[in-house]
Amino acid sequence: MPTLDIKGICAEIAAAQRQFDKVSQSAFRKLKEFDAELHEKAIQTLENEKEAALWFTDPLEAFKGQTAWKLLVTGNRQVILDVLARMEHGVYG
C-alpha cells in the first residue's frame, strides 16, 4: 500500500493558497480602475485590501452562494454595496 505524503500535500495546498491570494489581490487592485467607489468601500468596510480581496472571492449567503465578483459581472453592483453598508452597521444577515 502506498504511503500518503501528508507533508507534501500540505505544502502543495499552502502553495496553491498563496497563489490564489496573490491572484485575488491583483484582481482586486484592478477593480480600483473599473470602480474606485466599490473598491474603496470594500477596503473601508473590511479594514484592509487583503481582506477585501479575499471577501470578493468568497461565496456568501448574502449573495445566495455567489461571490461579489460574480454579482459584479452580472450587473448587481448595488447588491454588493448594500451588503457592505449592512456590514458597516453590524447587520450581516
Mention every residue, 6+ apart, whose C-beta is less than 8 A from residue 10.
Answer: none
Interval 4-16 mean pLDDT: 91
If pLDDT is split at 50, 70 and 90, which confidence band does 93 have? Answer: low
What does the block give as the cell for 78?
448595488
pTM of the model: 0.82
pLDDT value at residue 5: 87
What is the rounded CA–CA span in Å between residue 38 and residue 73?
13
pLDDT value at residue 90: 86
The pLDDT tens digits of the residues spanning 24-80 come to 999 999 999 999 999 999 999 999 999 999 999 999 999 999 999 999 999 999 999
